[in-house]
């Protein structure tokens, strides 16, 4: 039989030990996921690509799903332009070569649906593209019947190098499009010509991920930062250093202030 005082001491010891071993960083990540998980949505796409050569056109339809971030209660959703149309990444480098061969390419969105976490699908259309900042913005084709969850970027913070951050994204259909979080650190803060941050593990957060401080404040969104890409830059040596931007591009955290600027332009754009 355990005496009452001994039982009380054992419970106090267990509670104290559990508290001391609690992981505050993990708790911060779970809190971000609970608070903002629903602002990360899936965009279902049907893309139509037209290739022209010698006066002949060849059309092909492609279906895909990409991650988007809802940034206004009206359903305004931002995604990576490269995720929407990967060919835009090398378009400048390949344009001259294609022109010499009489080739041309056109990619357009034939159908788009914003898929909410509860399974609701909202027909949508692209209202803005910004190639320099790798942003594409969708808006529902019709006004939603309810106020949608959205991330307010105005409460953003500016992290320092080696600050720990939480990256929030959504998995693909094979994983039931579940919310996913990862932990990372800011590895660099670039100021010119446009400010952006890099993550210590660039593979930890996919395109469209939202990066938060441990206090739950938005830092920015993971997009592609593109420099100068030429056919000469796409050589073996560059490919070997691709993780450091050797190909002329790399995943980067675009600060919330830059994203908010584009969001406001999209809100001012009539449907």
Number of structural domains the chain divides into: 1
Cα–Cα dist 149/203, whole Å: 27
Q: What is the mean pLDDT of residues 91-119?
A: 76
131-149 pLDDT tens trace: 989 999 999 999 999 999 9
Domain of residue 126, residue span: 33-267
What pLDDT does residue 102 have? 60
What pLDDT does residue 64 have? 94
What pLDDT does residue 2 have? 52
Percent residues over pLDDT 90 in the chain: 61
What pLDDT does residue 249 have? 79
Q: Is residue 7 part of a domain?
A: no
Q: What is the CATH number of the domain that holds 54?
A: 2.40.10.120
Q: Is residue 23 part of a domain?
A: no
Q: Is residue 73 part of a domain?
A: yes
Radius of gyration of the chain (CA): 22
222-242 pLDDT tens trace: 999 876 555 544 444 444 444
Query: Position of tokens 């965009």?
Result: 43
Question: Taking 90 as the threshold, does the pLDDT of residue 50 lie above it?
Answer: no
Which pLDDT band holds residue 96 (cuts at 50, 70, 90)? low
- Alpha helices (runs of H) in 38-175, residue ranges in sequence order: 81-84, 91-100
pTM of the model: 0.82
- 124 in the Ramachandran plot: left (φ > 0), alpha (ψ -120 to 50) or beta? beta
181 versus 247: the higher-pLDDT residue is: 181
26-44 pLDDT tens trace: 999 999 999 999 999 999 9
Which pLDDT band holds residue 86 (cuts at 50, 70, 90)? confident
Phi, psi torsion values for 14, nearest 5 degrees: -65, -45
167-182 pLDDT tens trace: 999 999 999 999 999 9
Q: Is residue 111 part of a domain?
A: yes
> How many residues make up the chain in this entry?
271
Q: Is residue 14 part of a domain?
A: no
Q: What is the mean pLDDT of residues 47-72?
A: 87
Q: Is residue 65 part of a domain?
A: yes
Q: Is residue 129 part of a domain?
A: yes
Query: Position of tokens 């190909």?
Result: 247
What pLDDT does residue 88 have? 81
Mean pLDDT check: name the lowest of 3-17, 66-80, 112-126. 3-17
What pLDDT does residue 234 have? 46
CA nearest 205: which of 32, 34, 64, 9? Answer: 32
Q: What is the mean pLDDT of the chain?
A: 84
Q: Is residue 9 part of a domain?
A: no
251-262 pLDDT tens trace: 999 999 999 999
């Amino acid at each position: 039989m355990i005496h009452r005082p001994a039982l009380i001491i054992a419970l106090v010891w267990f509670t104290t030990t559990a508290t001391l071993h609690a992981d505050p960083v993990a708790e911060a990540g779970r809190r971000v996921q609970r608070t903002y998980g629903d602002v990360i949505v899936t965009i279902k796409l049907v893309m139509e690509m037209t290739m022209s050569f010698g006066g002949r056109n060849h059309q092909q339809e492609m279906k895909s799903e990409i991650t988007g971030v809802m940034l206004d209660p009206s359903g305004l959703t931002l995604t990576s332009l490269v995720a929407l149309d990967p060919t835009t990444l090398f378009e400048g480098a390949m344009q001259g070569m294609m022109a010499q061969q009489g080739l041309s390419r056109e990619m357009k969105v034939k159908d788009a649906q914003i898929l909410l976490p509860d399974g609701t699908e909202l027909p949508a259309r692209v209202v803005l593209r910004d190639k320099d900042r790798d942003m594409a913005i969708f808006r529902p084709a019709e006004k939603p019947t309810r106020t949608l969850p959205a991330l307010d970027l105005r409460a953003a913070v500016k992290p320092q190098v080696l600050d720990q951050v939480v990256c929030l994204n959504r998995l693909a259909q094979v994983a039931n499009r579940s919310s996913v979080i990862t932990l990372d650190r800011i590895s660099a803060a670039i100021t010119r010509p446009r400010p952006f941050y890099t993550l210590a593990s660039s593979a930890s957060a996919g395109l469209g991920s939202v990066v938060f401080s441990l206090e739950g404040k938005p830092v920015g969104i993971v997009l592609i930062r593109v420099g100068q890409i030429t056919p000469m830059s796409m050589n073996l040596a560059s490919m070997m250093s691709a993780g450091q931007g050797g190909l002329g591009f790399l995943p980067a955290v675009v600060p919330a202030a830059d994203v908010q600027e584009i969001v406001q332009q999209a809100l001012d754009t009539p449907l």
